[in-house]
């Protein structure tokens, strides 16, 4: 009798489970549970968008206006840039208002020698006080896709009027790997008026990365930073070359860390020229080193880059692997 009761109970249990499955009540984990397993969080707070991993901040997009040290002029203020960017081990590899080059801001965009309606503008060198870049709005935060989108404005100060010359949308995805992570960054710029912006021939400008405070010799006389591309480890040789990827890395209080940036093959004039400063830890991708071009109404200027954020020494094999995945990704 006892055995029959046990069998009856098992049969009823199996029947209940079968009915639940038929009606779609299966044990699929909730979306929030799947998200929590990655540990990545993207949320709007404290003046911008914070991307964190297990409550440790990886990067901050600054939507609110940020100001330099109070001993410096306010024209260096800036919104619409990313700083800090931290490695998985917590090393800060960007600088928001670096000594000596206060007009550079972590991960940022700005054109230099440009012409709009006959006026020469410089969005990069803020001390000129004739142009700049600012945050406009947060478009979307999608934690499920580990992504966010924002809009910026490139503005000109002409005859006392502030004119929006370009709008720019950043679409940013963050993905964790085993011992590093990547940031996929896409920028789309469009004319805000019917008038074009002529981006002039110059040595630098565009998409830029300013490296850690500890790599700045004006902050740290013993600063040690290195540079590498897919073809050379010589800074002088790399300057104004056209690499398929480029890396800035160095010592931060006894630990090595850095970034490798991979441009996408669909970028205008790929591979673009890079500018490497001989003593300052920054570099940028600029397509107009040899010839100017125009951003015109009705046509978007889009660039895409993958940033590999790593601890330790540069691992070229890892960067090459990320390059191949990035260039073959149909979503990009």
CA triple 205-210-214, angle to 5 deg: 155
Q: Which tokens sit at 42? A: 């993207």
Please enumerate in sequence order all residues whose Cβ is within 8 A of that of 86, keeping only pairs 6 or more positions apart, or say none: 56, 57, 58, 59, 92, 93, 309
Task: Inform me whether the pLDDT recorded for 29 exceeds 70.
Answer: no
Task: Answer yes or no: is pLDDT of 157 > 60.
Answer: yes
Assess whether 25 and 47 both reside in one domain. Answer: no
What whole-number distance in Å separates Cα of residue 69 and Cα of residue 7? Answer: 77
Tokens of 104: 């550079």
Q: Is the pLDDT of residue 83 over 60?
A: yes
Distance CA 68, CA 99 (A): 10
* Section 290-306 average pLDDT: 98
- Domain around 17: 1-38
What is the mean predicted confidence (pLDDT) over 267-285?
Answer: 97
- 21 vs 154 pLDDT, higher one: 154
Tell whether 23 and 117 lie within a shared domain.
no
Q: Which residues are CB-neighbours of 30 under 8 A, at least 6 positions away?
A: none
Q: Tell me the three state secondary structure of residue 169.
A: strand
Q: Greatest CA separation found in the chain?
A: 99
Shared domain for 33 and 48, answered yes or no, is no
Q: Looking at the predicted structure, is the pLDDT value of residue 188 above 50?
A: yes
Q: Could you tell me if 23 and 149 lie in one domain?
A: no
H-type helices in 69-172, by residue range? none
Report cis status (omega within 30 of 0) of the bond before 273: no
Average pLDDT, the chain: 90
Does residue 53 share a domain with residue 13?
A: no
Tokens describing residue 215: 């790599």
Q: Give the residue carrying structure tokens 């700045």.
A: 216
CA distance 207 to 299: 19
Percent of the chain with pLDDT over 90: 86
Query: Minimum mean pLDDT among 2-6, 103-107, 199-203: which range?
Result: 2-6
Judged by DSSP in three states, 227 sits in strand
Kindly state whether residues 13 and 136 are assigned to the same domain: no
> Within this chain, do residues 118 and 3 fall inside the same structural domain, yes or no?
no
Region 132-147: what's the mean pLDDT? 96
Would you say 283 and 212 are in contact if contact means Cβ atoms under 8 Å apart?
Answer: no
What is the tally of structural domains in the chain? 2
Segments in 23-45 forming alpha helices (H): 31-38
Residue closest to 167 by CA, chosen among 145, 134, 141, 201: 134
pLDDT digits (tens, 9 = 90+) for 248-274: 999 999 999 999 999 999 999 999 999
Question: What was the pLDDT predicted at 329?
Answer: 84
Residues 32 and 126 in one domain: no
Do 93 and 27 belong to one domain?
Answer: no
On whether both 208 and 100 belong to a single domain, the answer is yes
Q: What is the mean pLDDT of residues 138-155?
A: 96
Tell me the mean pLDDT in the region 113-135. 98
Report whether pLDDT(21) > 50: no
- What pLDDT, in 10s, does the model give residues 200-254? 999 999 999 999 999 999 999 999 899 999 999 999 999 999 999 999 999 999 9
Question: Band of the pLDDT at 68, cuts 50, 70, 90?
Answer: very high
Q: Verify that 86 and 10 share a domain, yes or no.
A: no
pLDDT(276) > 50: yes
pLDDT at 79: 98
The string of pLDDT tens digits covering residues 165-187 is 999 999 999 999 999 999 999 99
What confidence category does residue 280 fall into, taking pLDDT thresholds of 50, 70 and 90? very high
Structure tokens, 106: 């972590």
> Which of the four pLDDT bands, split at 50, 70 and 90, describes residue 332?
low
pLDDT of the residue at 236: 95
Cβ atoms within 10 Å of 201's Cβ, excluding its own: 12
- Within 200-245, strands assigned E span 206-210, 225-229
User: Given a cut of 90, is residue 130 above it in pLDDT?
Assistant: yes
- Section 88-94 average pLDDT: 98
Q: Are residues 23 and 75 in the same domain?
A: no
Burial 154-164 (b: 16+ CB within 10 A, else e): bbbebeeeebe
Q: Which residues does 325 contact at the CB level (< 8 Å), separation at least 6?
A: none
pLDDT at 39: 86
Confidence of residue 30 (pLDDT cuts 50, 70, 90): very low
């Amino acid at each position: 009798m006892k055995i029959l009761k046990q069998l009856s109970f098992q049969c009823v249990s199996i029947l209940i489970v079968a009915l639940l499955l038929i009606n779609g009540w299966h044990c699929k984990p909730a979306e929030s549970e799947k998200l929590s397993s990655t540990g990545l969080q993207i949320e709007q707070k404290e003046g911008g968008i914070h991307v964190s991993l297990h409550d440790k901040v990886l990067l901050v997009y600054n939507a609110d206006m940020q100001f330099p040290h109070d001993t410096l002029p306010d024209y260096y203020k800036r919104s619409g840039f990313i700083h800090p960017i931290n490695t998985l081990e917590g090393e800060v590899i960007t600088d928001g208002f670096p000594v000596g080059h206060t007009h550079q801001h972590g991960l940022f965009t700005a054109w230099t020698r440009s012409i709009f309606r006959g006026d020469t503008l410089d969005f990069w060198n803020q001390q000129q006080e004739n142009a700049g870049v600012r945050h406009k709005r947060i478009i979307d935060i999608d934690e499920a896709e580990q992504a966010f989108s924002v809009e910026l404005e490139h503005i000109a100060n002409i005859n006392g009027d502030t004119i929006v010359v370009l709008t720019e949308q950043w679409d940013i995805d963050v993905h964790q790997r085993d011992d590093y992570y990547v940031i996929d960054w896409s920028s789309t710029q469009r004319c805000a008026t019917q008038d074009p912006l002529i981006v002039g021939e110059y040595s630098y400008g565009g998409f830029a990365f300013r490296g850690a405070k500890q790599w700045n010799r004006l902050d740290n006389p013993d600063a040690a930073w290195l540079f590498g591309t897919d073809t050379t480890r010589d800074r002088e040789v790399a300057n104004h070359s056209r690499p398929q990827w480029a890396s800035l890395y160095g010592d931060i209080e006894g630990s090595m860390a850095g970034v490798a940036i991979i441009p996408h093959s669909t970028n205008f004039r790929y591979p673009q020229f890079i500018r490497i400063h001989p003593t300052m830890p920054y570099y940028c991708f600029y397509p107009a080193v040899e010839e100017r071009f125009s951003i015109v109404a009705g046509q978007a200027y889009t660039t895409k880059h993958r940033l590999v954020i790593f601890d330790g020494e540069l691992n070229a094999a890892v960067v090459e692997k990320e390059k191949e995945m990035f260039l073959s990704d149909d979503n990009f």
